[in-house]
């Protein structure tokens, strides 16, 4: 039997090959077939979830909340030392130097990543700005968002921190960070659909074993570096995910 493994489309572009490498590695070590699904955007992701729901999902914390509580998915792993932080940035030559410099009517470029937008709005609270106070500009990708800022089409942009730091050095030199979050307890997670059943332990063990006690440590390290997750993955239990979901609910309030 082959399971569908979907990866949320918000990872840095450079990590794209790494997911194929990981998918191949997990199949070889678990003996279980996996079909990798890489939706191009959140619309395609929603269609896959609404259709024949994927068996495994690497989900952002916002989507994980809905999938766990609404569709019975179970979180079983997360990246080690890699929380979902976000960056609010502007052009390096902008007069905006801190969040409090933003004013009602500010043009904010953002992707469809709801967790990033949610955290960003919390970070704008010192400027006394809410969703309705802002002009939202859509960006299809993190590089496209950076281009909007550099072209002067937006006053500031909301980035996933990993994606921001994965931009080229030249691009980052032309941008200025207004603020970067330090939440620490929110991260992407690996979710399993209940239909996986007795196959989950083998998949979980294969994932958690990447980079640990491997017969091919150099190969494992190459996979994790390609993913941008050099420390690999750690187990996540029900208590861990409930804590994260409660934190997301607090951010929504």
236 and 155 within one domain: no
- On whether both 45 and 159 belong to a single domain, the answer is no
- 3-state secondary structure string across 50-106: HCCCCCEEEECHHHHHHHHHHHCCEEEEEECCCCCCEEEEEECCCCCCCHHHCCCCC
**What is the total count of domains within the chain?**
2
Task: Assign 42 a pLDDT band (cuts: 50, 70, 90).
Answer: confident
Cα separation, 18 vs 38, in Å, equals 12
Domain identity same for 97 and 126:
yes
Residue 13 shares a structural domain with residue 56: yes
Give the C-alpha separation, 185 to 194, whole Å: 25
Q: What is the pLDDT of residue 76?
A: 96
Q: Which domain holds residue 203?
A: 2-82+185-252
CATH number at residue 166: 3.40.190.10
Q: Do both 137 and 160 map to the same domain? A: yes
pLDDT in tens, 141-158: 899 999 999 999 999 999
Are both 167 and 123 inside the same structural domain?
yes
pLDDT of residue 144: 93
Give the pLDDT band of residue 213 (cuts 50, 70, 90): low
Check residue 124 and give its pLDDT.
Answer: 94
Q: Final residue of a domain: which of 117, 147, 180? A: 180
DSSP 4-47: EEEE-TTS-GGGHHHHHHHHHHHHHHH--EEEEE--SSHHHHHH
Q: How confident is the model at residue 52 (pLDDT cuts 50, 70, 90)?
A: confident
What does the block give as tokens for 169?
Answer: 């050095």
Measured CA to CA in angstroms, residue 70 lies from 15, 49, 166, 245 at distances of 29, 12, 33, 12
CA distances (Å), origin 26, targets 30, 35, 92: 6, 11, 42
Please tell me what DSSP assigns to residue 184.
-
Indicate whether 44 and 124 sit together in one domain.
no
Residues 196 and 32: beta-carbon distance below 8 Å: no
Q: Can you read off the two tokens belonging to residue 123? A: 């970070």
Whole-number pLDDT of residue 4: 97
- 176 and 97 housed in the same domain: yes
Residues 113 and 163 in one domain: yes
* Mean pLDDT computed over 238-243: 88
Please check whether residues 133 and 17 belong to one and the same domain.
no
Q: In sequence order, what are the residues at sequence separation of 6 or more whose Cβ sits closer than 8 angstroms to the Cβ of residue 196?
A: 3, 55, 56, 203
* 91-135 pLDDT, tens digit each: 999 999 999 999 999 999 999 888 888 899 989 999 999 999 999
Domain identity same for 191 and 166: no
Share of the chain above pLDDT 90, in %: 67
Question: DSSP state, 132?
Answer: G
158-205 tens-digit pLDDT = 999 988 998 999 999 999 999 998 877 789 999 999 999 999 999 999
Question: What pLDDT does residue 245 have?
Answer: 86
Domain boundary among 180, 203, 226: 180
End residue of a domain, out of 129, 146, 180: 180
**pLDDT tens column, 78-103:** 999 888 889 999 999 999 999 999 99
- Lowest mean pLDDT across 57-61, 167-171, 196-200, 243-247: 243-247
Q: Are residues 141 and 203 in the same domain?
A: no
């Amino acid at each position: 039997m082959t399971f569908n493994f979907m990866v949320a489309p918000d990872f840095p572009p450079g990590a794209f090959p790494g997911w194929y490498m990981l998918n191949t590695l997990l199949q070889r070590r678990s003996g279980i077939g996996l079909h990798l699904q890489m939706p191009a955007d959140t619309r395609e992701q929603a269609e896959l979830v609404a259709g024949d729901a994927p068996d495994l999902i690497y989900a952002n914390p916002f989507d994980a909340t809905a999938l766990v509580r609404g569709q019975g998915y179970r979180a079983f792993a997360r990246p080690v030392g890699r929380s979902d932080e976000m960056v609010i940035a502007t052009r390096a030559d902008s007069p905006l130097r801190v969040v409090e410099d933003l004013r009602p009517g500010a043009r904010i470029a953002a992707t469809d990543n709801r967790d990033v937008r949610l955290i960003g709005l919390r970070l704008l609270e010192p400027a006394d700005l809410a969703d309705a106070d802002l002009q939202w500009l859509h960006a299809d990708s993190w590089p496209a968002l950076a281009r909007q800022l550099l072209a002067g089409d937006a006053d500031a942009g909301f980035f996933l921190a990993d994606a921001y730091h994965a931009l080229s050095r030249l691009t980052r030199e032309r941008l200025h960070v207004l603020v970067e979050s330090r939440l620490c307890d929110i991260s992407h997670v690996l979710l399993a659909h209940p239909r996986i059943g007795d196959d989950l332990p083998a998949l979980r063990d294969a994932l958690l074993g990447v980079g640990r006690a491997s017969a091919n440590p150099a190969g494992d390290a190459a996979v994790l570096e390609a993913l941008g997750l050099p420390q690999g993955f750690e187990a996540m239990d029900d208590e861990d995910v409930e804590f994260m979901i409660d934190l997301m609910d607090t951010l929504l309030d």
